[in-house]
Amino acid sequence: MSLIEPLLYPLIGAVAIIAISSLVRGKEFLYCLIAVASLVASLAGLLQLYPALPASFTLDGFLPPYGAQLYLDSFGEFMALLFVALGIFAAAYSFKYMADEDGLEKYYALMLFMVAGLMGVALAGDLFTLFVFWELMCIASYALVSFRNYRWEPVEAGFKYLVMSTIGSLAALYGMSFLYGITGTLNIAALISLMPAAATNEGYFALALIFAGFGVTSAMVPFHTWLPDAHPAAPSPVSALLSGVVIKAGIYAIFRIMFTVFTPASYDFGILLIIFGALTLTIGNLMVLPQRDIKRFLAFSSIANVGLILLAGGIAAYVLHSYAPPVSATVAALALSGAAFHILNHAVGKGLLFLASGCLIHSTGSRDISELEGIARRMPWSGGAMSVGLLNLGGVPPLGGFWSKLLIIMAPAALLQDPLMAVCVAVILLNSLLAAGYYIWLTQRLAFKEAPAKPVREAPVQMLLPVVLLALACVAITMLLPSVIGFISSSILPLLG
Protein backbone atom coordinates (compact mmCIF):
# COMPACT_ATOMS: atom_id res chain seq x y z
CA MET A 1 0.00 0.00 0.00
CA SER A 2 1.47 3.34 -1.10
CA LEU A 3 1.12 6.31 1.22
CA ILE A 4 -0.73 8.34 -1.41
CA GLU A 5 -3.53 5.79 -1.92
CA PRO A 6 -5.51 6.50 1.29
CA LEU A 7 -5.35 10.18 0.40
CA LEU A 8 -6.60 9.63 -3.15
CA TYR A 9 -9.72 7.65 -2.23
CA PRO A 10 -11.80 10.58 -0.88
CA LEU A 11 -10.60 12.84 -3.71
CA ILE A 12 -11.64 10.26 -6.30
CA GLY A 13 -14.92 9.76 -4.45
CA ALA A 14 -15.67 13.49 -4.53
CA VAL A 15 -14.98 13.70 -8.25
CA ALA A 16 -17.10 10.59 -8.86
CA ILE A 17 -20.06 12.11 -6.99
CA ILE A 18 -19.89 15.30 -9.05
CA ALA A 19 -19.58 13.31 -12.29
CA ILE A 20 -22.53 11.05 -11.44
CA SER A 21 -24.70 14.00 -10.44
CA SER A 22 -24.55 15.38 -13.97
CA LEU A 23 -25.76 12.06 -15.38
CA VAL A 24 -28.24 10.86 -12.75
CA ARG A 25 -30.60 12.94 -10.64
CA GLY A 26 -32.12 12.08 -7.28
CA LYS A 27 -29.58 9.45 -6.28
CA GLU A 28 -28.82 10.72 -2.76
CA PHE A 29 -28.28 7.19 -1.47
CA LEU A 30 -25.62 6.63 -4.13
CA TYR A 31 -23.81 9.85 -3.13
CA CYS A 32 -23.80 8.77 0.52
CA LEU A 33 -22.66 5.26 -0.40
CA ILE A 34 -19.72 6.59 -2.47
CA ALA A 35 -18.72 8.95 0.35
CA VAL A 36 -18.80 6.24 3.03
CA ALA A 37 -17.08 3.67 0.78
CA SER A 38 -14.29 6.14 -0.10
CA LEU A 39 -13.63 6.89 3.56
CA VAL A 40 -13.77 3.23 4.59
CA ALA A 41 -11.18 2.49 1.87
CA SER A 42 -8.97 5.29 3.28
CA LEU A 43 -9.33 3.92 6.79
CA ALA A 44 -8.39 0.42 5.64
CA GLY A 45 -5.37 1.81 3.78
CA LEU A 46 -4.16 3.72 6.85
CA LEU A 47 -4.50 0.63 9.02
CA GLN A 48 -2.57 -1.36 6.43
CA LEU A 49 0.26 1.17 6.60
CA TYR A 50 0.53 1.07 10.40
CA PRO A 51 3.04 -1.83 10.67
CA ALA A 52 5.36 -0.13 8.15
CA LEU A 53 5.58 3.26 9.87
CA PRO A 54 7.26 5.62 9.34
CA ALA A 55 6.41 5.75 5.63
CA SER A 56 7.02 8.39 2.96
CA PHE A 57 6.03 9.17 -0.62
CA THR A 58 7.74 11.55 -3.03
CA LEU A 59 6.86 12.31 -6.64
CA ASP A 60 9.63 11.52 -9.11
CA GLY A 61 11.55 14.66 -9.97
CA PHE A 62 10.33 16.51 -6.88
CA LEU A 63 12.70 15.20 -4.23
CA PRO A 64 13.25 16.72 -0.77
CA PRO A 65 14.29 19.11 0.57
CA TYR A 66 12.69 21.27 -2.16
CA GLY A 67 9.97 19.03 -3.57
CA ALA A 68 6.64 18.02 -2.05
CA GLN A 69 6.62 14.98 0.22
CA LEU A 70 4.13 12.88 2.12
CA TYR A 71 5.36 11.45 5.40
CA LEU A 72 3.48 9.42 8.00
CA ASP A 73 4.68 8.59 11.49
CA SER A 74 2.78 7.31 14.52
CA PHE A 75 1.43 10.74 15.52
CA GLY A 76 0.24 11.50 12.00
CA GLU A 77 -1.32 8.01 11.80
CA PHE A 78 -3.22 8.58 15.05
CA MET A 79 -4.64 11.87 13.81
CA ALA A 80 -5.40 10.63 10.28
CA LEU A 81 -7.31 7.62 11.64
CA LEU A 82 -9.35 9.96 13.81
CA PHE A 83 -10.12 12.31 10.91
CA VAL A 84 -11.29 9.52 8.62
CA ALA A 85 -13.22 7.54 11.25
CA LEU A 86 -15.33 10.53 12.31
CA GLY A 87 -15.84 11.40 8.63
CA ILE A 88 -17.40 7.94 8.09
CA PHE A 89 -19.89 8.47 10.93
CA ALA A 90 -20.78 11.98 9.75
CA ALA A 91 -21.29 10.87 6.13
CA ALA A 92 -23.46 7.89 7.11
CA TYR A 93 -25.54 10.05 9.49
CA SER A 94 -26.10 12.63 6.75
CA PHE A 95 -28.14 10.24 4.57
CA LYS A 96 -31.33 10.71 6.57
CA TYR A 97 -30.50 13.99 8.29
CA MET A 98 -29.90 15.85 5.00
CA ALA A 99 -32.58 13.99 3.01
CA ASP A 100 -34.76 17.09 2.54
CA GLU A 101 -31.95 19.35 1.35
CA ASP A 102 -31.10 20.21 -2.25
CA GLY A 103 -27.65 19.98 -3.82
CA LEU A 104 -26.56 16.90 -1.87
CA GLU A 105 -23.98 15.97 -4.49
CA LYS A 106 -22.15 19.17 -3.51
CA TYR A 107 -22.61 18.40 0.19
CA TYR A 108 -21.05 14.93 0.02
CA ALA A 109 -18.29 16.05 -2.34
CA LEU A 110 -17.40 18.92 0.01
CA MET A 111 -17.36 16.55 2.97
CA LEU A 112 -14.92 14.28 1.13
CA PHE A 113 -12.73 17.24 0.19
CA MET A 114 -12.75 18.34 3.86
CA VAL A 115 -11.64 14.91 5.08
CA ALA A 116 -9.04 14.67 2.30
CA GLY A 117 -7.67 18.05 3.41
CA LEU A 118 -7.52 16.89 7.01
CA MET A 119 -5.71 13.71 5.98
CA GLY A 120 -3.28 15.71 3.88
CA VAL A 121 -2.41 17.88 6.88
CA ALA A 122 -1.62 14.74 8.90
CA LEU A 123 0.37 13.17 6.04
CA ALA A 124 2.32 16.25 4.90
CA GLY A 125 6.09 15.88 4.96
CA ASP A 126 6.73 19.54 4.16
CA LEU A 127 5.07 22.75 5.24
CA PHE A 128 3.96 23.86 1.78
CA THR A 129 2.13 20.57 1.21
CA LEU A 130 0.60 20.98 4.66
CA PHE A 131 -0.58 24.48 3.72
CA VAL A 132 -2.14 23.33 0.42
CA PHE A 133 -4.16 20.61 2.15
CA TRP A 134 -4.97 23.02 4.97
CA GLU A 135 -6.57 25.38 2.45
CA LEU A 136 -8.49 22.50 0.84
CA MET A 137 -9.91 21.63 4.27
CA CYS A 138 -10.72 25.25 5.07
CA ILE A 139 -12.47 26.03 1.76
CA ALA A 140 -14.61 22.90 2.03
CA SER A 141 -15.53 23.69 5.64
CA TYR A 142 -16.50 27.31 4.79
CA ALA A 143 -18.87 26.00 2.14
CA LEU A 144 -20.33 23.34 4.44
CA VAL A 145 -21.00 25.85 7.23
CA SER A 146 -22.86 28.00 4.67
CA PHE A 147 -24.52 25.04 2.95
CA ARG A 148 -28.04 26.15 3.94
CA ASN A 149 -27.47 29.44 2.15
CA TYR A 150 -31.19 30.15 1.89
CA ARG A 151 -30.95 31.27 5.54
CA TRP A 152 -29.05 34.32 6.76
CA GLU A 153 -27.50 32.63 9.83
CA PRO A 154 -25.33 30.12 7.88
CA VAL A 155 -24.20 32.76 5.38
CA GLU A 156 -23.14 35.14 8.16
CA ALA A 157 -21.39 32.38 10.15
CA GLY A 158 -19.61 31.03 7.07
CA PHE A 159 -18.42 34.50 6.06
CA LYS A 160 -17.11 35.20 9.57
CA TYR A 161 -15.28 31.87 9.56
CA LEU A 162 -13.90 32.61 6.08
CA VAL A 163 -12.50 36.02 7.04
CA MET A 164 -10.98 34.94 10.36
CA SER A 165 -9.54 31.68 9.07
CA THR A 166 -8.09 33.33 5.96
CA ILE A 167 -6.23 35.85 8.10
CA GLY A 168 -4.98 32.99 10.26
CA SER A 169 -3.85 30.98 7.23
CA LEU A 170 -1.96 33.98 5.84
CA ALA A 171 -0.24 34.50 9.20
CA ALA A 172 0.83 30.84 9.26
CA LEU A 173 2.07 31.09 5.65
CA TYR A 174 4.07 34.19 6.51
CA GLY A 175 5.64 32.30 9.43
CA MET A 176 6.54 29.45 7.07
CA SER A 177 8.21 31.95 4.73
CA PHE A 178 10.47 33.01 7.61
CA LEU A 179 11.44 29.38 8.17
CA TYR A 180 12.29 29.15 4.48
CA GLY A 181 14.41 32.27 4.80
CA ILE A 182 16.28 30.81 7.77
CA THR A 183 16.91 27.32 6.36
CA GLY A 184 16.25 27.43 2.60
CA THR A 185 13.70 24.58 2.76
CA LEU A 186 10.19 23.75 3.96
CA ASN A 187 10.74 20.00 4.24
CA ILE A 188 10.04 19.12 7.88
CA ALA A 189 12.86 16.59 8.22
CA ALA A 190 15.32 19.07 6.69
CA LEU A 191 14.02 21.88 8.90
CA ILE A 192 14.67 19.77 11.98
CA SER A 193 18.33 19.34 11.02
CA LEU A 194 18.91 22.85 9.61
CA MET A 195 17.25 25.02 12.26
CA PRO A 196 19.87 26.79 14.41
CA ALA A 197 20.51 25.01 17.70
CA ALA A 198 20.06 28.29 19.59
CA ALA A 199 16.85 30.33 19.44
CA THR A 200 16.86 33.43 17.20
CA ASN A 201 14.57 36.47 17.01
CA GLU A 202 13.53 35.45 13.49
CA GLY A 203 12.68 32.00 14.80
CA TYR A 204 10.53 33.38 17.59
CA PHE A 205 8.73 35.64 15.13
CA ALA A 206 8.00 32.68 12.83
CA LEU A 207 6.87 30.61 15.83
CA ALA A 208 4.45 33.34 16.95
CA LEU A 209 2.94 33.68 13.47
CA ILE A 210 2.47 29.93 13.07
CA PHE A 211 1.00 29.59 16.55
CA ALA A 212 -1.48 32.43 16.03
CA GLY A 213 -2.31 31.37 12.46
CA PHE A 214 -3.22 27.80 13.28
CA GLY A 215 -4.68 28.94 16.59
CA VAL A 216 -7.55 30.60 14.72
CA THR A 217 -8.84 27.31 13.31
CA SER A 218 -8.22 25.52 16.60
CA ALA A 219 -10.65 28.07 18.19
CA MET A 220 -8.04 29.29 20.68
CA VAL A 221 -8.96 32.40 22.70
CA PRO A 222 -8.99 35.21 21.51
CA PHE A 223 -9.51 33.77 18.00
CA HIS A 224 -12.45 31.57 19.01
CA THR A 225 -15.46 33.71 18.14
CA TRP A 226 -16.19 32.03 14.79
CA LEU A 227 -16.90 28.63 16.36
CA PRO A 228 -20.02 29.42 18.46
CA ASP A 229 -21.58 31.04 15.39
CA ALA A 230 -20.60 28.28 12.98
CA HIS A 231 -21.98 25.39 15.05
CA PRO A 232 -25.64 26.48 15.27
CA ALA A 233 -25.63 27.50 11.61
CA ALA A 234 -24.03 24.36 10.17
CA PRO A 235 -25.82 21.02 9.70
CA SER A 236 -25.21 18.75 12.71
CA PRO A 237 -22.88 16.33 10.83
CA VAL A 238 -20.74 19.31 9.83
CA SER A 239 -20.75 20.56 13.44
CA ALA A 240 -19.56 17.10 14.50
CA LEU A 241 -16.63 17.33 12.08
CA LEU A 242 -15.80 20.94 12.96
CA SER A 243 -15.69 20.28 16.68
CA GLY A 244 -14.52 16.69 16.51
CA VAL A 245 -11.62 16.96 14.08
CA VAL A 246 -11.22 20.33 12.27
CA ILE A 247 -10.18 22.22 15.40
CA LYS A 248 -7.90 19.26 16.24
CA ALA A 249 -6.13 19.79 12.91
CA GLY A 250 -5.09 23.20 14.21
CA ILE A 251 -3.73 21.62 17.39
CA TYR A 252 -1.95 18.96 15.31
CA ALA A 253 -0.24 21.61 13.16
CA ILE A 254 0.80 23.61 16.25
CA PHE A 255 2.21 20.59 18.07
CA ARG A 256 3.86 19.09 14.98
CA ILE A 257 5.72 22.28 14.03
CA MET A 258 6.53 23.63 17.47
CA PHE A 259 7.71 20.37 19.04
CA THR A 260 9.68 19.04 16.06
CA VAL A 261 10.92 22.08 14.11
CA PHE A 262 11.47 24.64 16.87
CA THR A 263 11.84 22.07 19.72
CA PRO A 264 11.37 22.93 23.42
CA ALA A 265 15.10 22.45 23.98
CA SER A 266 15.88 25.50 21.81
CA TYR A 267 12.75 27.64 22.11
CA ASP A 268 10.99 28.49 25.37
CA PHE A 269 7.38 28.39 24.14
CA GLY A 270 5.94 26.30 26.97
CA ILE A 271 4.77 29.34 28.98
CA LEU A 272 3.10 30.73 25.83
CA LEU A 273 1.09 27.53 25.39
CA ILE A 274 0.26 27.41 29.11
CA ILE A 275 -1.07 30.99 29.15
CA PHE A 276 -3.21 30.64 26.04
CA GLY A 277 -4.31 27.16 27.06
CA ALA A 278 -5.40 28.31 30.52
CA LEU A 279 -7.24 31.33 29.08
CA THR A 280 -8.99 29.22 26.45
CA LEU A 281 -9.92 26.56 29.01
CA THR A 282 -11.29 29.03 31.55
CA ILE A 283 -13.09 31.41 29.19
CA GLY A 284 -14.61 28.52 27.23
CA ASN A 285 -15.98 26.96 30.42
CA LEU A 286 -17.35 30.25 31.74
CA MET A 287 -19.03 31.05 28.42
CA VAL A 288 -20.87 27.71 28.48
CA LEU A 289 -22.86 28.72 31.57
CA PRO A 290 -25.24 31.33 30.07
CA GLN A 291 -25.94 29.35 26.87
CA ARG A 292 -29.46 28.10 26.19
CA ASP A 293 -28.93 27.00 22.58
CA ILE A 294 -27.69 23.41 22.82
CA LYS A 295 -25.30 23.75 19.87
CA ARG A 296 -23.75 26.97 21.25
CA PHE A 297 -23.47 25.18 24.61
CA LEU A 298 -21.50 22.37 22.96
CA ALA A 299 -19.45 24.84 20.88
CA PHE A 300 -18.14 26.72 23.93
CA SER A 301 -17.37 23.44 25.67
CA SER A 302 -15.27 22.51 22.63
CA ILE A 303 -13.29 25.72 23.07
CA ALA A 304 -12.67 24.76 26.70
CA ASN A 305 -11.40 21.33 25.68
CA VAL A 306 -9.04 22.89 23.14
CA GLY A 307 -7.66 24.94 26.01
CA LEU A 308 -7.07 21.83 28.09
CA ILE A 309 -5.15 20.15 25.25
CA LEU A 310 -3.05 23.26 24.61
CA LEU A 311 -2.35 23.56 28.33
CA ALA A 312 -1.14 19.95 28.41
CA GLY A 313 1.15 20.66 25.45
CA GLY A 314 2.45 23.76 27.24
CA ILE A 315 3.25 21.74 30.36
CA ALA A 316 5.22 19.25 28.24
CA ALA A 317 7.15 22.01 26.45
CA TYR A 318 7.89 23.89 29.67
CA VAL A 319 9.20 20.77 31.41
CA LEU A 320 11.35 19.76 28.44
CA HIS A 321 12.89 23.25 28.37
CA SER A 322 13.33 23.73 32.12
CA TYR A 323 14.21 20.30 33.51
CA ALA A 324 16.83 17.66 32.76
CA PRO A 325 16.19 14.00 31.91
CA PRO A 326 14.80 11.68 33.12
CA VAL A 327 12.29 13.97 34.88
CA SER A 328 11.64 16.07 31.79
CA ALA A 329 11.07 13.09 29.49
CA THR A 330 8.78 11.29 31.95
CA VAL A 331 6.59 14.29 32.79
CA ALA A 332 6.45 15.51 29.17
CA ALA A 333 5.44 12.05 27.95
CA LEU A 334 2.69 11.97 30.57
CA ALA A 335 1.37 15.41 29.55
CA LEU A 336 1.47 14.68 25.80
CA SER A 337 -0.13 11.26 26.29
CA GLY A 338 -2.93 12.96 28.23
CA ALA A 339 -3.29 15.57 25.48
CA ALA A 340 -3.48 12.93 22.73
CA PHE A 341 -5.88 10.80 24.77
CA HIS A 342 -8.09 13.85 25.31
CA ILE A 343 -8.01 14.57 21.58
CA LEU A 344 -9.40 11.05 21.08
CA ASN A 345 -12.01 11.35 23.84
CA HIS A 346 -13.15 14.76 22.68
CA ALA A 347 -13.33 13.78 19.00
CA VAL A 348 -15.45 10.71 19.75
CA GLY A 349 -17.47 12.33 22.53
CA LYS A 350 -18.16 15.63 20.80
CA GLY A 351 -18.89 13.91 17.49
CA LEU A 352 -21.43 11.82 19.42
CA LEU A 353 -22.95 14.88 21.13
CA PHE A 354 -23.44 16.86 17.93
CA LEU A 355 -24.95 13.92 16.07
CA ALA A 356 -27.20 13.08 19.04
CA SER A 357 -28.26 16.72 19.39
CA GLY A 358 -29.01 16.63 15.67
CA CYS A 359 -31.44 13.78 16.39
CA LEU A 360 -33.14 15.89 19.07
CA ILE A 361 -33.33 18.94 16.83
CA HIS A 362 -34.57 16.85 13.88
CA SER A 363 -37.45 15.47 15.97
CA THR A 364 -38.40 18.61 17.94
CA GLY A 365 -37.41 21.43 15.59
CA SER A 366 -35.78 23.31 18.49
CA ARG A 367 -32.24 23.99 19.76
CA ASP A 368 -33.47 25.59 23.00
CA ILE A 369 -32.40 23.52 26.01
CA SER A 370 -35.57 24.50 27.91
CA GLU A 371 -37.69 22.99 25.14
CA LEU A 372 -35.59 19.80 25.14
CA GLU A 373 -36.10 19.06 28.83
CA GLY A 374 -37.07 15.44 29.46
CA ILE A 375 -36.63 14.60 25.79
CA ALA A 376 -34.72 11.43 26.67
CA ARG A 377 -37.98 9.97 28.00
CA ARG A 378 -39.47 10.28 24.53
CA MET A 379 -36.25 9.51 22.63
CA PRO A 380 -34.44 6.95 24.82
CA TRP A 381 -31.85 5.88 22.23
CA SER A 382 -30.81 9.41 21.30
CA GLY A 383 -31.04 10.65 24.89
CA GLY A 384 -29.20 7.65 26.32
CA ALA A 385 -26.37 7.92 23.82
CA MET A 386 -26.11 11.65 24.46
CA SER A 387 -25.91 11.03 28.20
CA VAL A 388 -22.92 8.74 27.62
CA GLY A 389 -21.16 11.49 25.64
CA LEU A 390 -21.94 14.15 28.26
CA LEU A 391 -20.69 12.03 31.14
CA ASN A 392 -17.60 11.06 29.14
CA LEU A 393 -16.60 14.65 28.46
CA GLY A 394 -17.62 15.63 31.98
CA GLY A 395 -14.83 13.39 33.24
CA VAL A 396 -17.16 11.11 35.19
CA PRO A 397 -15.35 7.85 36.05
CA PRO A 398 -14.85 5.27 34.74
CA LEU A 399 -15.33 6.74 31.24
CA GLY A 400 -12.32 7.73 29.12
CA GLY A 401 -12.69 11.48 29.70
CA PHE A 402 -11.81 10.97 33.36
CA TRP A 403 -8.59 9.13 32.52
CA SER A 404 -7.35 11.65 29.94
CA LYS A 405 -7.90 14.50 32.40
CA LEU A 406 -6.19 12.47 35.11
CA LEU A 407 -3.13 11.90 32.89
CA ILE A 408 -2.93 15.61 32.13
CA ILE A 409 -3.20 16.68 35.78
CA MET A 410 -0.66 14.05 36.91
CA ALA A 411 2.06 15.73 34.83
CA PRO A 412 2.21 19.09 36.67
CA ALA A 413 1.30 17.36 39.95
CA ALA A 414 4.66 15.54 39.72
CA LEU A 415 6.39 18.94 40.03
CA LEU A 416 4.31 20.75 42.63
CA GLN A 417 7.43 22.43 44.00
CA ASP A 418 7.42 24.52 40.80
CA PRO A 419 4.96 27.44 41.33
CA LEU A 420 3.91 27.43 37.66
CA MET A 421 3.09 23.72 37.79
CA ALA A 422 1.14 24.22 41.01
CA VAL A 423 -0.92 26.93 39.29
CA CYS A 424 -1.54 24.57 36.35
CA VAL A 425 -2.84 21.90 38.73
CA ALA A 426 -5.23 24.41 40.33
CA VAL A 427 -6.47 25.70 36.95
CA ILE A 428 -7.10 22.18 35.61
CA LEU A 429 -8.82 21.02 38.81
CA LEU A 430 -11.14 24.02 39.06
CA ASN A 431 -12.06 23.89 35.38
CA SER A 432 -12.60 20.13 35.50
CA LEU A 433 -15.05 20.55 38.37
CA LEU A 434 -16.83 23.35 36.51
CA ALA A 435 -17.06 21.26 33.32
CA ALA A 436 -18.33 18.22 35.22
CA GLY A 437 -21.01 20.44 36.78
CA TYR A 438 -22.45 21.79 33.54
CA TYR A 439 -22.24 18.45 31.69
CA ILE A 440 -24.09 16.70 34.54
CA TRP A 441 -26.57 19.61 34.66
CA LEU A 442 -27.38 19.17 30.96
CA THR A 443 -27.68 15.40 31.41
CA GLN A 444 -30.15 15.96 34.23
CA ARG A 445 -32.20 18.43 32.17
CA LEU A 446 -32.44 16.09 29.19
CA ALA A 447 -32.94 12.81 31.01
CA PHE A 448 -34.67 13.43 34.33
CA LYS A 449 -37.00 16.38 33.81
CA GLU A 450 -40.65 15.79 32.99
CA ALA A 451 -41.15 14.59 29.42
CA PRO A 452 -42.54 17.10 26.91
CA ALA A 453 -46.31 17.08 26.58
CA LYS A 454 -46.34 17.03 22.79
CA PRO A 455 -45.62 13.68 21.15
CA VAL A 456 -42.05 13.33 19.89
CA ARG A 457 -40.79 10.40 17.85
CA GLU A 458 -37.40 8.79 18.13
CA ALA A 459 -34.97 9.68 15.33
CA PRO A 460 -34.82 7.41 12.25
CA VAL A 461 -32.65 4.32 12.57
CA GLN A 462 -30.28 5.61 9.86
CA MET A 463 -29.41 8.51 12.18
CA LEU A 464 -29.46 6.46 15.36
CA LEU A 465 -26.96 3.84 14.18
CA PRO A 466 -23.91 6.20 13.99
CA VAL A 467 -24.93 7.78 17.30
CA VAL A 468 -25.23 4.46 19.13
CA LEU A 469 -21.96 3.21 17.63
CA LEU A 470 -20.14 6.33 18.86
CA ALA A 471 -21.63 5.83 22.34
CA LEU A 472 -20.39 2.24 22.26
CA ALA A 473 -16.98 3.56 21.16
CA CYS A 474 -16.87 5.71 24.33
CA VAL A 475 -17.57 2.59 26.38
CA ALA A 476 -15.08 0.49 24.38
CA ILE A 477 -12.30 3.04 24.98
CA THR A 478 -12.96 2.64 28.71
CA MET A 479 -13.03 -1.15 28.54
CA LEU A 480 -9.81 -1.30 26.49
CA LEU A 481 -8.05 1.42 28.47
CA PRO A 482 -4.59 -0.22 28.81
CA SER A 483 -4.37 -0.95 25.06
CA VAL A 484 -5.66 2.52 24.14
CA ILE A 485 -3.17 4.27 26.42
CA GLY A 486 -0.37 2.06 25.08
CA PHE A 487 -1.24 3.01 21.49
CA ILE A 488 -1.47 6.70 22.37
CA SER A 489 1.80 6.67 24.33
CA SER A 490 3.60 5.29 21.29
CA SER A 491 1.88 7.77 18.96
CA ILE A 492 3.29 10.84 20.72
CA LEU A 493 6.92 9.68 20.57
CA PRO A 494 7.70 11.72 17.39
CA LEU A 495 6.87 14.89 19.36
CA LEU A 496 9.46 13.91 21.94
CA GLY A 497 12.13 13.37 19.32
How many residues belong to the chain?
497
Q: Please compute the mean of the pLDDT values over residues 155-172 and round it to a whole number.
A: 93
Instruction: Give backbone dihedrals phi and psi of 131, rounded to 5 degrees, phi first.
Output: -65, -40
What's the CA gap between 239 and 298, in Å, rounded?
10
Q: Is the pLDDT of residue 11 over 70?
A: yes
pLDDT at 448 over 90: no
Strand partners, 57: 70
Averaged pLDDT, 190-199:
87
**Residues 402, 484: contact at Cβ < 8 Å?**
no
Higher pLDDT, residue 23 or 281: 281
Query: What percent of the chain has a predicted confidence (pLDDT) above 90?
Result: 76
Is pLDDT of 61 > 70?
Answer: no
Question: 247 with 217: CB under 8 angstroms?
Answer: yes
Q: Which residue has the higher pLDDT, 34 or 1?
A: 34
Q: How confident is the model at residue 453 (pLDDT cuts 50, 70, 90)?
A: low
Rounded Cα distance, 270 and 208, in Å: 12
The predicted pLDDT at position 36 comes to 96
Residue range 85-110: average pLDDT?
92
- For residue 416, pLDDT over 90 is answered with yes
Under the banding of pLDDT at 50, 70 and 90, the label for residue 25 is low
Q: Which residues contact 269 (CB under 8 A, 6 or more apart)?
A: 207, 211, 258, 262, 314, 317
Single-letter residue type at 406: L
Give the count of alpha carbons within 13 A of 342, CB side only. 30
**pLDDT > 90? residue 451:** no
The answer to which of 182-191, 330-339, 344-353 has the lowest mean pLDDT is 182-191
CB 58 within 8 A of CB 67: yes
* Long-range interactions of 265-268: CB distance < 8 A, separation 24+: 265/320, 265/321, 266/195, 266/196, 266/197, 266/198, 266/199, 266/203, 267/199, 267/203, 267/204, 267/207, 267/321, 268/199, 268/321
- Confidence band (pLDDT; 50, 70, 90) for 200? confident
Whether the pTM exceeds 0.85: the reply is yes
Dump pLDDT digits (tens) for 118-138.
Answer: 999 999 999 999 999 999 999
Q: Rg (Cα) of the chain, in Å, rounded?
A: 22
8 Å CB contact between 317 and 257: no
**CA 442 from centroid of its chain's CA atoms:** 23
* pLDDT of residue 62 exceeding 80: no
Question: How far is CA 432 from its chain centroid?
Answer: 20
The pLDDT of residue 467 is above 90: yes
* pLDDT on residue 196: 87
pLDDT band for position 100 (50/70/90)? confident
Give the pLDDT score at 68.
84
Q: Cα–Cα distance between 263 and 207 in angstroms, integer?
A: 11
